[in-house]
Amino acid sequence: MCGRFTLRTNAEVLRAEFDLSELPADLSPRFNVAPTQPVAIIPNREPRRLGLVRWGLIPYWAKDASIGNRQINARAETLTERRAYQEAFAQRRCLVVADGFYEWKKEGKRKHAIFIHKKDDGPFAFAGIWEVWRPSGGEKVASCAIVTTEPNELLRPIHDRMPVILPRESWETWLRPGTTPSRELLPLLRPLPPDALEVYEVSSFVNAPANEGPECIVPIVDLVGGTLRD
């Protein structure tokens, strides 16, 4: 799964990397993005823009927004089966912009926070789906979920799922406006090769969603000396 991530990259770097026409004025560096908080997405609409939406997919037919709290991730294997995902997968896809994410590795009764990022520490795109919910008598709410798949060899010892990180050559297909057949989309939802990523353990500071700042991604080895755990 993917339950926390980072977006620390400079706005102008994001503009160039994703060929964006606009950026939100309130985009600021984030080191501990958590569910229900605003996340930066590029929806499959023209022109290509970056917008902020709620993390946790609220289907358009939902009676209550709380359903989104349980739908921060969407398994690639069930996108064509689950009612909450089917229409969004076919018609409303997005790139969720990030530059790192966290998983928690179980060792006995303890969980160790692990930070995963590209070896060049650059920005990347999670495969996402988005939706707009219009509550009766209220303002519409845009939301999204991150698509997950089986882990690659690097992450398998840490967790049994990983977010789909789409390579640049897949962006155009994933962001194609309108309905796209699943046979063209499902092959894109595979693990990123392990040699593109780097992992290291960080402190429990990141465990609390309220905690923010560079302290979240400081390696344990830099905090206490010694070597990282196997």
Give yes or no: 2 in active site: yes
Domain that holds residue 162: 4-100+122-193
CATH code: domain of residue 171? 3.90.1680.10
149-157 long-range CB contacts below 8 Å, 24 or more apart?
149/75, 149/76, 149/189, 149/190, 149/191, 150/191, 151/191, 152/191, 152/192, 152/193, 152/194, 152/197, 153/194, 154/194, 154/197, 154/199, 155/103, 155/116, 155/191, 155/194, 155/197, 155/199, 157/105
126 inside domain: yes
* Annotation says 103 is catalytic: yes
174 domain-assigned = yes
In a domain, 109, yes or no: no
* Residue 48 in domain: yes
What's residue 222's pLDDT?
A: 55
**Structural domain contains residue 68:** yes
pTM for the full predicted model: 0.94
Residue 204 within a domain: no
Burial 100-138 (b: 16+ CB within 10 A, else e): bbbbbbeeeeeebbbbbbeeeeebbbbbbbbbebeeeee
Per-residue pLDDT, 223: 46
Active-site hit among 94, 103, 131, 144:
103
pLDDT per residue as tens digits for the range 19-75? 998 888 888 999 999 999 999 999 999 999 999 999 999 999 999 999 999 999 999
Q: How many domains does the chain have?
A: 1
Pick the catalytic residue from 2, 94, 144, 216. 2
HEC readout, 42-78: EECCCCCECEEEEECCCCCCCCCHHHHHHCCEEEHHH
Residue segments in the chain with a per-residue pLDDT below the cut of 70 = 222-230
186 lies in a domain? yes
| 199 occurs within a structural domain | no
